Structure 1
Amino acid sequence: MLNKQFIRKQFLNKRNELSPAMRNELSNVIAKKIITMIDDNDFENIGIYKTITSEVNTEEIINWCNENKFNLFFPVINENTDTIEFKSQNDELKVNLDLIIVPLVSFDKELNRLGRGKGHFDKFINTLNYKTFLVGIAYDIQKYEHTLPIEKHDQKLNLIITELNDYYKTV
């Protein structure tokens, strides 16, 4: 079995190889799917990341949520605890989120997520005592065809949305 660092590097390279125009096009498809999901559900407090590097662009989702008066909270690293907290644009701390949209480097059909390697999202998710719906967004090329190597602290998502597919937990 391949180790996480090797898989992470492989999928970061795949994602980075997409042209900016292609990433934009795929991000728009994903954003429309996320917006529909938000609009069809009772989400009020939403945690969402601001895009860095070649991640799925969340700007369209953020703009739509702001226009439609959803409460948005963004992950911020707490330097003292090396964990993330979600804060509003006004620096208001939020603990109970209805939905968290999570970035990822790779994922598998079991909804395991491979992030950037620091474990910030996994640590945060592990502390949730509130029913939060966890959605990862990625390009379909980020799907790992085998089961990702997982550790005890790794957290599964409820749903992963790509431009081509929606991957759900199966019972």
Structure 2
Amino acid sequence: MNDKQQLRQQALARRRELGGEARERSSTAIRQRLLDMLAEDARLSGAPLLSYRSMDDEVDTAPLFDRLRATGREVFAPVTHHAGEMLWRQVDDGTRWQRGDFGVLEPASGELWRPDENPAVLLCPLVGFDRCGNRLGMGKGCFDRWLDGMKNHILLGVGLAFACQECPRIPAEAHDMPLDIIITEGETIACRNC
């Protein structure tokens, strides 16, 4: 087992240990920190949000879709294929959700995000993180591969995580794309280039 696999297993174990009530309380605090940041940062006002739908014991992102749309912000969710391709479909009141190739809820239809016309804020799923913005995903590399070609169209890359998911240092590889901000229930971390 390599370092990343071991760190991933440890971070997943810590996240699983959170009880349901603590997880919901922390998720609520994390979502509020994100909403406050988006409202206060003028360069992000009106920018569309690209957000994943949370699974299992991740920070619950489902309430964000309606809350952000209620402010007039366009929200898009990913559709991912086993080949590593990812596209983003707009979410609205009529969105029908279906399980995608990796078991994540994805919009069955909707307008596609046009990156050349509309740079966005990206919420990136993660299993573990460090203060340099390095993240551990589930190990498939979908977001990193996609982000490599889209980094010029992303205004801000944000990770939502519970504080218990922090790792001292995640080994970064050339293809890994660090995040700009990590939001936990206790703080908003401006990641530094390490």
- TM-score between both structures, scaled by the size of structure 2: 0.81
RMSD: 1.8
Match of 2:94 in 1: none
Identify the match of residue 127 of structure 1 among 140, 144, 149: 149
Secondary structure of 2:64 counterpart:
helix
Match of 1:74 in 2: 77
- TM-score between both structures, scaled by the size of structure 1: 0.91
Q: What is the deviation of 1:166? A: 1.4
Match of 1:7 in 2: 7
Match of 1:92 in 2: 111
Secondary structure of 1:124 counterpart:
helix
* Structure 2: tracts of 5 or more residues without a match: 92-108
* Structure 1: tracts of 5 or more residues without a match: none
Distance (Å, rounded) in 2 between the aligned partners of 1:124 and 1:165:
27
Letter in 2 for 1:85: L
Distance (Å, rounded) in 1 between the aligned partners of 2:142 and 2:124:
11
Distance (Å, rounded) in 2 between the aligned partners of 1:131 and 1:167:
18
How many residues are matched? 169
Q: What is the deviation of 1:170? A: 3.4
- Asked whether the equivalents of residues 158 and 182 of structure 2 are also in contact (C-alpha less than 8 Å), the reply is yes
**CA 1:8–1:95 in structure 2 vs 1: closer, same or farther (change >3 Å)?**
farther
Do residues 113 (structure 1) and 116 (structure 2) align? Answer: no
Letter in 2 for 1:11: A
Q: What do residues 18-52 of structure 1 show as CA deviations (whole Å, max 9, x unaligned)?
A: 11111100000001001111222324211011110
Distance (Å, rounded) in 2 between the aligned partners of 1:95 and 1:152:
27
Q: What is the deviation of 1:131? A: 4.1
